[in-house]
Amino acid sequence: MIQEITFSSVLSFARTSARMNEIASGSVFRTRPRDRASRAMNTRFAAIMILTLFGSWHRSALSQESDPVVLRFGGDCLLTTHYEWWASSDVTRAFRQLRHLETADVAMVNLESPVTRRGTKREKPFTFRMDPRFLESFTSAGIDLVTIANNHIYDFDSIGLLDTIHNLDSAGIGHVGAGMTKQDARKPALIDVRGTRIAFLAYYNGSEAPNATDSTAGVAERSLPVIREDVMFARTELGADVVVVNLHWGIEKAVLPDPEQVLFARAVIDAGVDVVVGHHPHVLQPIEVYNEGVIAYSLGNLVFGGNSRHTYDTALLEIRITGSTITHSVIPVRVEQYGARFLEGEGAKRLLDSLNTLTLSLRHD
Measured over the CA atoms of residue 202, residue 208, residue 214 and residue 215, the dihedral's sign is negative
Band of the pLDDT at 187, cuts 50, 70, 90?
Answer: very high
Q: Which residue has the higher pLDDT, 91 or 62?
A: 91
Q: What's the average model confidence in pLDDT over 215-231? A: 98
Lowest mean pLDDT among 9-23, 54-68, 128-142, 339-353: 9-23
Q: What's the average model confidence in pLDDT over 99-123? A: 97
Q: What's the average model confidence in pLDDT over 199-208? A: 97
C-alpha 27/C-alpha 29 separation (Å) is 6
E strand segments, the chain? 3-7, 56-58, 69-78, 106-111, 145-147, 174-176, 178-179, 189-193, 196-204, 218-219, 242-248, 275-279, 287-290, 293-296, 301-304, 312-322, 325-336, 339-342
Neighbour count for residue 291 (Cβ, 10 Å)? 11
Band of the pLDDT at 299, cuts 50, 70, 90?
Answer: very high
Tell me whether strands 312-322 and 325-336 are parallel, antiparallel or unpaired. antiparallel
pLDDT for res 260: 96
Q: Quick one: fold of 3-361?
A: Purple Acid Phosphatase; chain A, domain 2 (3.60.21)
**pLDDT of 14 over the 90 cut:** no
HSE on the CB side for 72, CA within 13 Å? Answer: 24
**pLDDT of 173 over the 90 cut:** yes
Amino acid 241 reads: D
pLDDT for res 160: 98
pLDDT for res 10: 28
Where along the chain do its domains lie? 3-361
pLDDT for res 55: 36
**pLDDT of 210 over the 70 cut:** yes
pTM: 0.85
pLDDT for res 343: 98
Angular region, 199: left φ>0, alpha ψ -120 to 50, beta rest: beta
Q: Please work out, in degrees rounded to the nearest 5, the angle formed at the alpha carbon of residue 335 by the alpha carbons of 83 and 17.
A: 115
Cβ(202)–Cβ(248) below 8 Å: yes
Q: What's the average model confidence in pLDDT over 262-277? A: 97
Q: Which residue has the higher pLDDT, 105 or 8?
A: 105
Tell me whether strands 56-58 and 3-7 are parallel, antiparallel or unpaired. unpaired
Band of the pLDDT at 362, cuts 50, 70, 90?
Answer: confident
Coil, helix or strand for 140? helix
**pLDDT of 8 over the 70 cut:** no
